[in-house]
Amino acid sequence: MANITDVKTAKGIKGQTEELLQLVSFMIGQEEFGLDIQCIQEINRVVDITRVPNSPEFVVGVINLRGKVIPIIDLRKRFGFPQKESDKNTRIIVVELDNMVVGFIVDSVREVIRIPKSITEPPPPIIAGIGSEFITSVAKMENRLLILLDIERLLREKEKQVLETAQQEH
C-alpha cells in the first residue's frame, strides 16, 4: 500500500481549497470499494476463524486478535456475491463500529488513496447487486468507479446486538 500523509485539503480548480477523502480501497470480485481510512484499525491476513452458532449468515465467526475476540463478517456474503475460497490476497480489515471492533473479509486490499470529494456523487438505486443502503457515494475516477461504503450501515442494530453477544460468549 502507498504511504500517504494525512492531508485534508488540496488546491483545486482556480486555487480553491477542496476537501479530500482518504480511503483504503479493496476488491470484492470485480468491484472496487473504499472505506474511510480513519475507521480502519489494521489490515491482516486471514487467520483461523472460530464459527459461532446462530449468528447471521454473513458472520463467519470470531478470531482472537491479541487477546481480544473479534467477530468476522464476510463482505461477499453480506453483499450477495458468490462464495470464493480465501487465497494469498484475502485480507481482514479491522474496524471500530459503534465501540465494537469488527473484521471484514475482503478479496484483496488495493491501495490507500486520496480523492477530492467533488468527484463523488450519490449512488444510483442499485449497484452491482448491492443494496444502496450500504453505499455513501460513488467516486468517478479516470478509468474506474470506486464504491464508497457507509461503515455504520453495514450492520443493522439487531445484528450488532447478536455480534456483541457472540463476542461476550467467547
Q: In this structure, what CATH number is given to the domain that contains residue 83?
A: 2.40.50.180
Domain count, the chain: 1
pTM of the model as a whole = 0.81
Q: Which domain holds residue 111?
A: 9-169
- In 3D space, the residue among 136, 55, 54, 148 whose CA is nearest the CA of residue 102 turns out to be 55
For residue 70, tell me if it sits in a domain: yes
Interstrand relation of 40-45 and 91-97 (parallel, antiparallel or unpaired): antiparallel
For residue 92, tell me if it sits in a domain: yes
- Contact between 65 and 50 (Cβ < 8 Å): no
For residue 86, tell me if it sits in a domain: yes
For residue 41, tell me if it sits in a domain: yes
pLDDT in tens, 114-131: 999 999 998 776 655 555
The DSSP output letter for 110 is E
Residues paired with residue 51 on neighbouring β-strands, in sequence order: none
For residue 4, tell me if it sits in a domain: no
For residue 95, tell me if it sits in a domain: yes
Q: Give the integer Cα–Cα distance in Å for 138 and 148.
A: 6
Q: Which residue has the cell 457515494?
A: 137
For residue 36, tell me if it sits in a domain: yes
Q: Which residue has the cell 491482516?
A: 44
Instruction: Give mean pLDDT, residues 6-23.
Output: 61
pLDDT in tens, 45-56: 999 999 988 888
Q: How confident is the model at residue 135 (pLDDT cuts 50, 70, 90)?
A: confident
For residue 2, tell me if it sits in a domain: no
Q: How confident is the model at residue 170 (pLDDT cuts 50, 70, 90)?
A: low
Amino acid 162: pLDDT: 64
